[in-house]
Chain A
Amino acid sequence: MRGRPLLYTSYRADMALLNTPAKRVSLGLLVLLGLALPFLLQDSTLNLLAMGCVAAIGAIGLGLVTGYAGQVSLGHAFFFGIGAYTSALVSGETGVRTMGLGVPNLLVWLPAAGLVALLFGVLVAPLATRLRGLYLAIVTLGLVFIGQHVFGEWGSLTGGTGVGRAPARLELFGYDVAATDSMGTREQKSFWLMFSLLIVFALAARNLARSKVGRAFTAIRDRDIAAGVIGVNLSRYKTIAFAVSSFYAGCAGALLYPLVGFIEPGTFSLLLSVQYIAMVLIGGAGTISGAIAGAFFITLLPSLTRGLQPLVPFISTSPTELPNIFQVETILYGVLVIGFLIFEPRGLFGIWIRVRTYWKTWPFSY
């Protein structure tokens, strides 16, 4: 079989999690690179990359419901917020302003955050299964507004608008990940933690996508009526899609804020949902690796534009002058999304496919 990477002699091999040697090798190299990165990079960059890993978990979740199952959800920020507050509630101590249950173990609050978000996902699903396309997008948008209101008003849980509360603590069985010690600095250790969690979540999602459930998702996306006719239980699989996606969003919400430092109720707005949509679309809808690439791209975009700022001196870095770098960033989101949708609808993943095809078929162009 050597030298014939696309020759499969069994169905099992064709459907394997990593079905080509190239995928196995590149995943191995990526894992090695990820493990080595904390020794190569500055702590501030590492923190950003750790956030990228967490954003990738969230983007994979949205990718499952929007990219695979084709159900447009603008409500990701809502589930994100539920995860963040559940984790903070479970992990935090009851203080003067905010309440908490005082269980700081990550292995407790992370699943709790995911499961509570999942519960809300299942609660929303009956609406979602009745609606299609843009109706669904607007309903999920409504969720974000209702969520923002509740987060803003429920002061004992969230600390209230503009104030916020402390997030969950990164602690594993009493070992504080977020403290600098002989194992490494705070940033190094949290990067390792987030990176390994990303690998677990990504592999789990890919595994789901290649299973019966994943095939049902793509069938619903491609033509929901046809899928229903051939025996895919639409409401059941749409519910599953929402449940899994909310679980991922909840986990990402729980993990992100320990890296940021505090949770402010105003964060869980439409803009956050749009950012995640942008990650999925820029990365490439309907692929796991695309969602990860898109998440890192969007997370690193602000520092990228700041790095490029000296090249365009008429753009100011101070927020009071016009045009300033923050406005350029926001416009870039919009322009990038439009540009990708018009010129490369398959996103970063599509660009990669083109490059790969070029070298695979070289020197021929087909």
Chain B
Amino acid sequence: MDELLESVVRGLGRGSVYALLALGFVIIFKATRVISFAQPAFMLAGAVMVTYLVGPLGFWGALAAATVLTGLLALGVERTAVRPMVGRPAFVVAIITLGVDIAVRVIVNAYIGNDVRQVGDPWGLSRVELAGLIIEKRDVARIVTAAVLVAALFAYFRFTRMGLAMRAASYDQEAAMAQGVSVGGVFAVSWAMAGGLAAVAGTFVAVGENVDGLMWTIALVALPVIILGGLDSPAGAVLGGVIVGVLQELVAGYQSHFPWLGGNISVITPYVVMLIVLLVKPYGLFGTREVERV
């Protein structure tokens, strides 16, 4: 029983990171109807910035600075590569973000180089005993950070003018424009937010481990997560992230019972779950069904 619960806590920690990443995808999707494949690059960029800034600023200062800087980077990408493509097919823009991703990641990788780079977090791999369970502190940190950020974001969408504008623009861009909403501003804020979220997620992925060039594949797990939750549902993204994270840790924990599946089966669990869910619900758990007029 303890083993199960410990797996679940690890999964919640992992799932919190996925939830942050997935929220970034969903925010961009809701604003621009595009999936930004550039998120992995932003995540890596954020984590690498933290490794450079942690010396002078300390962990939390570096995290805040990296979040802002990555947000600005995302804003720059939106302005130069994505804004000129407004009105073009979603697929074309998605491929452009894929190009951005490749280019940005190569540059970021150059800054990682061959050194061992760490985010310099206060937790490392230390553990704490809680109600008889042995839990890694970093998982607690991940869960708390994600919970605070998600609550803040949902409050932002619900209670601020910009949040209202974002909801309006995602519902109907032209009508929102006619009511005086700056749709361009919504695009910019959405991209910056997604960049910032990716930076936080990247840093918390790297907590207790090294930042390396392969970390970006973790951001791709957010893709099955958003499909699972529904592309246009922030709540779905959070819930999907938690579900996928917990499932992944459970599969990793009980993998020895299924030796015929091969090692590291937890790596592809998200994709298998995604395929199964899509067979039953083509628009995910909370996605809006597309209605089209010819």
Contacts and interface: CB of A to CB of B under 8 A. Distances in A.
A binds B: yes
Interface of A: 72, 126-127, 130-135, 137-139, 141-143, 145-146, 149-150, 152-154, 223, 225-226, 229, 270, 274, 277, 281, 320, 322-323, 327, 330-331, 333-338, 341-342, 345
Contacts of A331: 102-103, 106-107
B294 interface: yes
B102 A135 contact: no
B278 A337 contact: no
A342 B85 contact: yes
B94 interface: yes
Contacts of B114: 320
Interface string B226-238: 1100010000000
Given A72-B91, A137-B94, A281-B95, 16 more contacts: A131-B282, A133-B91, A134-B90, A134-B231, A135-B278, A135-B282, A138-B227, A141-B220, A145-B267, A149-B262, A334-B99, A334-B106, A337-B95, A338-B100, A341-B85, A342-B81
- Is the contact region of chain B dominated by helix, strand, or loop, or is it mixed? helix
Contacts of A139: 227, 274-275, 278
B102 A130 contact: no
Contacts of B35: 134, 137-138
Of listed B88, B91, B109, B290, residue having the most chain A CB within 10 A: B91
B132 interface: no
18 contacts: A127-B275, A131-B282, A134-B94, A135-B278, A137-B35, A137-B91, A141-B220, A145-B268, A149-B268, A223-B294, A320-B114, A323-B110, A327-B109, A330-B102, A334-B100, A334-B102, A335-B103, A337-B95
Contacts of B92: 341, 345
List 6 A-B pairs, minimum CB-CB distance, nearest first.
A153-B262, A142-B271, A334-B103, A334-B99, A334-B102, A337-B99
Of listed A142, A150, A322, residue having the most chain B CB within 10 A: A142
B261 to A, nearest CB: 8
Interface of B: 34-35, 81, 84-85, 88, 90-92, 94-96, 98-103, 106-107, 109-110, 113-114, 220, 223-224, 226-227, 231, 262-265, 267-268, 271-272, 274-275, 278-279, 282-283, 290, 292, 294
Contact of B99 (A323, A333, A345): A333
A127 B99 CA distance: 27
B274 to A, nearest CB: 6
A274 B107 CA distance: 19
A345 B107 CA distance: 26
B264 A127 contact: no
B102 A138 contact: no
A127 B106 contact: no
Contact of A127 (B91, B279, B292): B279
A107 B40 CA distance: 43
A143 B294 CA distance: 31
B294 A225 contact: yes
B88 to A, nearest CB: 8
Nearest to A228: B294
Given A134-B91, A338-B100, A142 B274 contact: yes
B275 A142 contact: yes
Contacts of A223: 294
A324 to B, nearest CB: 9
Contacts of A138: 35, 223-224, 226-227, 274
Contacts of A153: 262-264
Contacts of A335: 99, 103
Given A131-B282, A134-B94, A338 B262 contact: no
Contacts of A336: 99
Of listed A127, A135, A143, A226, residue having the most chain B CB within 10 A: A135
A131 B283 CA distance: 8
Contacts of A225: 292, 294
Nearest to B103: A334
B114 to A, nearest CB: 8
B280 to A, nearest CB: 10
A145 B114 CA distance: 27
Of listed A145, A327, A337, residue having the most chain B CB within 10 A: A145
Nearest to A126: B279
A337 B96 contact: yes
B65 to A, nearest CB: 24
A225 B294 CA distance: 7
B271 A145 contact: yes
B294 A146 contact: no
A228 B109 CA distance: 47
A189 to B, nearest CB: 36
